[in-house]
Amino acid sequence: MSSERLAALLDEYAELEKRLADPAIHADQGAARRVGRRYAELVPLQKAAAELEQARADLAAARELAAEDPAFAAEADAIAESLPALEERLAELLIPRDPHDAKDVIVEIKAGEGGEESALFAGDLLRMYTRYAERHGWVTEVIDAQDSDLGGVKDVSLAIKTKGVPEGGNGVWSRLKWEGGVHRVQRVPVTESQGRIHTSAAGVLVLPEAEDLDVTIDPNDLRIDVFRSSGPGGQSVNTTDSAVRITHVPTGIVVSCQNEKSQLQNREQAMRILRARLLAAAQEQADAAASDARKAQVRTVDRSERIRTYNFPQNRITDHRIGYTAYNLDLALAGELDGVLDALAEADRAARLAGETELTRR
């Protein structure tokens, strides 16, 4: 356990507590939210450190009393037995955490190989994440979507936010960051007349939503094009050039939005996605510099192996990264994802405690 790191974090906690007590900070809601999030992240550490310090003080007192009265020996032994668990908990909290854990996210879902069936499955994934968010009291917002002819989605961007400051600094990213990658489905498509099981896939990308201070974008680096919005089958859905496509020239990242009725609104939504993608790209570069072994999420369906399979005939969901299997696919698609997400979080925690790199998010 690093006493220097603990002391530094406790000092930071005390400083943040003072800042939050100052009414002036609440004049800037963005700053107040950032400080509040960081404070919430450090609350469990401060409590664990205080509990351990109190237990050590109680042990010293009990041993001193036991020297005069043997009746206190049993109490001293009980306190001593509790110390390892308290020390382990504090050591776990001292492990550097994901800096984005408190953030909200943008989830992008793209239909892949499989045609209309893949688009229908992408729609199932959209509903699954929306229902999961509802179960946790989070707020969802469809930023942009391209629907398919049979009611699925070819491409959708979904923002998911917590209400207020997340407890313990555990925001949406801390739960959904494992979802990035290729999701495979095995079922009889509605378009299949002979009852044969087909396999198709959809790609999911989870981005921590960037704030203005996270990413600096030079307007001169942007190429902005406008066009008419289109719906299923490519038909025009309005008569004005309200859809917006933004290209970040230095990186080649392209974002387009057409859901809103006004060009200005579509531009604002596209910029939200662009900031999130640039933040993710910067994080990937930093991760690669720190460790070549660490892998990032894929950006296209064809570039990655599957991370999860949804088998409808067996009502089975399997996460291939950790060997997790459960026969409750119907419940998972209804938003009950905590089983697989808890297993992924536990695998990551065990890896970090063992001093390894965190669980790969493919």
| Phi, psi of 324, deg, nearest 5 | -85, 130
* Structural domains counted in the chain: 3
Cα torsion for 237, 241, 242, 244, to the nearest 10°?
A: 110
Question: In angstroms, how far is the first alpha carbon of the chain from the final one?
Answer: 31
The CATH number of whichever domain residue 52 belongs to comes to: 1.20.58
- pLDDT tops 90 at residue 288: no
Residue 294 in any domain: the answer is no
Can you tell me the mean pLDDT for 232-241?
Answer: 56
AA letter at 295: K
Look at 40-54, 65-79, 102-116, 299-313 and tell me which has the smallest mean pLDDT.
299-313
The CATH number of whichever domain residue 263 belongs to comes to: 3.30.160.20
AA letter at 358: E
Q: Which of 39, 69, 94 is the last residue of a domain?
A: 94
Q: What is the DSSP letter of 152?
A: -
Q: Are 315 and 328 in contact (CB under 8 A)?
A: yes
- pLDDT tops 90 at residue 186: yes
The β-bridge partners of 226 are 244
Residue 111 in any domain: the answer is yes
Highest average pLDDT, of 125-129, 190-194, 345-349, comes from 125-129
Residue 136 in any domain: the answer is yes
Residue 361 in any domain: the answer is no
Residue 175 in any domain: the answer is yes
Give the model's pLDDT for residue 240. Answer: 64
SS3 of 334-352 = CCCCHHHHHHHHHHHHHHH
Q: Could you tell me the two tokens for 344?
A: 């992924």
> Does one domain contain both 16 and 161?
no
> Does one domain contain both 190 and 308?
yes
> Does one domain contain both 117 and 200?
yes
Q: What is the mean pLDDT of the chain?
A: 86
> Does one domain contain both 205 and 308?
yes
Residue 360 in any domain: the answer is no
> Does one domain contain both 131 and 196?
yes
> Does one domain contain both 261 and 345?
no
- Packing angle of the helix pair 73-94, 3-21 (nearest 10 deg): 80
d(CA 147, CA 120): 9
d(CA 312, CA 178): 22
Q: What is the DSSP letter of 311?
A: E
Q: Which of 35, 68, 94 is the last residue of a domain?
A: 94
d(CA 269, CA 255): 10
Give the model's pLDDT for residue 86. Answer: 94
> Does one domain contain both 315 and 271?
no
> Does one domain contain both 26 and 160?
no
Domain of residue 233, residue span: 219-289
60 band by pLDDT with thresholds 50, 70 and 90: very high
d(CA 1, CA 3): 6
More confident residue, 28 or 294: 28
Residue 309 in any domain: the answer is yes
> Does one domain contain both 134 and 201?
yes
> Does one domain contain both 250 and 176?
no
Which strand (E) or helix (H) includes residue 136?
A: none
> Does one domain contain both 186 and 236?
no
Block residue for tokens 């609350």: 43
Residue 154 in any domain: the answer is yes
Look at 178-192, 196-210, 234-248, 321-335 and tell me which has the smallest mean pLDDT.
234-248
- pLDDT tops 80 at residue 145: yes
Q: Are 281 and 253 in contact (CB under 8 A)?
A: yes
> Does one domain contain both 183 and 325?
yes
CA-angle at 130, arms to 127 and 136, nearest 5°: 140
Q: Which of 94, 121, 152 is the last residue of a domain?
A: 94
Give the model's pLDDT for residue 95. Answer: 84
Can you tell me the mean pLDDT for 257-278?
Answer: 90
